[in-house]
Amino acid sequence: MLRIARCMEHFDEYKGNNMPKIKQPQEPFGDINVIIQDTYLEIVASILMVPDIESAQVGLALDASASIKKMYGISGLVGSAFFQASTIPNVMEPVAKSIASFLTNFAGDGTVHLIYWACNPSGQGIEPIGTFNADTLENLTIQGPKREKWGRGTKLLPPLQYFLDHKMKESPWSLVIFITDGIIEDLDEVKSYCMQVGKDIADNKRKNIKLVLLGVGEEVDESQMEELDDMFEGTELEDPEGNEIDLWCHKLASDMQRMEEVFAEVVSENTTVAPNGKILDSDGNVIANYADGLPAKFRFNMPKNSKSFTLELANGSITQDISEVFL
């Protein structure tokens, strides 16, 4: 995973604002959300693990809006191709190829579907790149759309529908990562569509789906990403196995240390990761006790002024600072 971390370093200058999601959780945590209620804090945490996904279809969607051109090594300056290539590196290609190669490990047929999205003046265009395995990815060149034009907007609904209603409609497991550097212009339409997808999963009309929004660039609106991430909070929608439905997860590329983090929320409350465990507040008081087994995903409440909590296991303990959500 060292290669992944080095590729992500290219995006270190592109960071968003602090939100109630801990940016770099302590291991073994994969994802920690801090929901600030009126009189207390609600913590939703997951343990980092690679889930056992069978017969999955996986996809990677690359932003092709004009604002992201520089990440493909395109400066917009008039001059020789040699001059442009020597002054602006294509950081998108190594990152995209590394992510795509990682995803092939979890695909039922060992392949990943790649597309460009947010193409054309409307921002609704899609240009399929193709379907690749780990070997064919090695020779793939990623320089932006060839047939479609660079976009002037960022519409997320078209690529969502492309994957979920077309490419992966019959898949028992679907995992898609969307890379973007901008503001999602059709957020309300996306949320409406995703809510219906969630209801379809609850009614057993669709199978397992996980969508990851990976933000790069200074223009990323992390509040939008958080809004998608949390859109199913309080809906009480569950899949046929009794797991809470939660379609979205969001990450900032600059915060990621390894690719396994895309699976931070692809875990189940029904999966036990340790024989037992306890959650302690900063004063050492037990606030949650999992005597019958620590689940891969769990939630608990803490006093509103809490700045940390500790997960106590049989072989040691891990203290997680959460003070960043108050900054």
pLDDT at 181 over 80: yes
Query: Could you give phi then psi for residue 166, rounded to 5 degrees?
Result: -125, -70
Question: In angstroms, rounded to a whole number, what is the distance separating the alpha carbons of residues 42 and 27?
Answer: 20
List the one residue out of 54, 128, 130, 135 whose CA is nearest residue 101: 135
Given a cut of 70, is residue 27 above it in pLDDT?
yes
Q: What is the pLDDT of residues 182-201, one digit of tens each?
A: 899 999 999 999 999 999 99
Q: What is the pLDDT of residue 163?
A: 98
Query: SS3 of 184, please?
Result: coil
Determine the residue type at 25.
P
Residues 248-254: what's their mean pLDDT?
86
Q: Which pLDDT score, from 0 to 100, does residue 218 have?
A: 79
Q: Which residues pair with 318 in a beta bridge?
A: 311
Reported as a pLDDT band with limits 50, 70 and 90, residue 244 is confident
What percent of the residues of the chain are helix, what percent strand, and what percent coil, each to the nearest 5? 25, 30, 40
Cα→Cα distances 106→99, 130, 213, 265, Å: 12, 18, 18, 15
Per-residue pLDDT at 13:
41
Q: Where are the beta strands (DSSP E) in 181-247?
A: 208-215
Average pLDDT over residues 115-138: 97
Q: What is the per-residue pLDDT across 134-154, written as a single tens digit (0 to 9) for each?
A: 999 999 999 999 999 999 999
What's the confidence (pLDDT) of residue 259? Answer: 72
Q: Is the pLDDT of residue 247 over 80?
A: yes
Cα-Cα end-to-end distance for the chain: 31
pLDDT band at 5 (very low <50, low <70, confident <90, very high): very low
Give tens-digit pLDDT for 283-298: 999 999 999 999 988 9
Q: Name the more confident of 221 and 158.
A: 158
Q: Report residue 102 as tokens.
A: 């990682």
Rounded to whole angstroms, the Cα distance separating 158 from 280 reads 45
Average pLDDT, the chain: 87
Give SS3 for 144: coil
From 208, 242, 237, 263, select the one nearest 31 (Cα to Cα): 263
Tell how strand 208-215 and strand 173-180 pair up.
parallel
CA atoms lying within 13 Å on the CB side of residue 87? 11
Q: Is 77 exposed, middle or buried (0-12, 13-18, 19+ CB in 10 A)?
A: exposed
Predicted confidence at residue 30, as pLDDT, reads 82
| Average pLDDT of the segment spanning 68-95 | 75
Q: For position 201, what pLDDT does the model report? A: 97
Q: Which two tokens stand for residue 243?
A: 């797991």
CATH class of the domain whose range is 2-326: alpha beta
Between the CA of residue 290 and those of 49, 210, 243, 294, what are the distances in Å? 19, 27, 18, 5
Quote the percentage of the chain above a pLDDT of 90: 60
Confidence of residue 51 (pLDDT cuts 50, 70, 90): low
Q: How confident is the model at residue 322 (pLDDT cuts 50, 70, 90)?
A: very high
- E strand intervals along the chain: 29-36, 40-47, 56-63, 107-119, 125-132, 173-180, 208-215, 248-252, 272-274, 277-281, 286-290, 294-295, 297-303, 308-313, 316-321
pLDDT at 31: 84
**3 state DSSP class of 151:** strand
What distance in Å separates the CA atoms of residue 60 and residue 113, rounded to the nearest whole number? 6
Q: Which among 162, 225, 187, 314 has a CA at the least distance from the CA of 15?
A: 225
